[in-house]
Amino acid sequence: MFVAIGRASHEEAASLGGFLTTAWPFLAGLGVGWGLLRAWRRPEGVWPVGVGVWVSTVTAGMLLRVLAGQGTALAFVIVACVFLGAALLGWRLVARLVSARAVSFTDRTG
């Protein structure tokens, strides 16, 4: 979604190749984070898994963009940090709240 919105806002082609060119550094960073943190063991965890995956996605993604000759303007870095933080931490926070409510409900009715 981040890539599609960004490419559209800069009037870049909506081609699959363009999408992949923009997305691959962040997908690779996401993979690095999942591997290093073994996130499959507790994928819903906010700390340290969610935060670690977020940081690795942004860091590795930006480094790979530099190596690939793609831009890393400050505004892009800020927007990427905010969007990826919301995407990678947001669902985990929602899952935590839903789980806490379910436990609370079970405690009251059980």
Cα atoms found within 13 Å of the Cα of residue 21, Cβ hemisphere only: 13
Q: Which amino acid is it at 16?
A: L
d(CA 8, CA 14): 7
Task: For 30-43, write each residue's pLDDT tens digit.
Answer: 999 999 999 999 99
CA 6 from chain centre, in angstroms, equals 15
Q: What is the predicted pLDDT for the residue at 60?
A: 98
pLDDT over 70, % of the chain: 88
Ranges of H-type helices in the chain: 2-9, 16-37, 51-67, 74-109
What backbone phi and psi angles, to 5 degrees, belong to 66? -60, -45
pTM of the model: 0.85
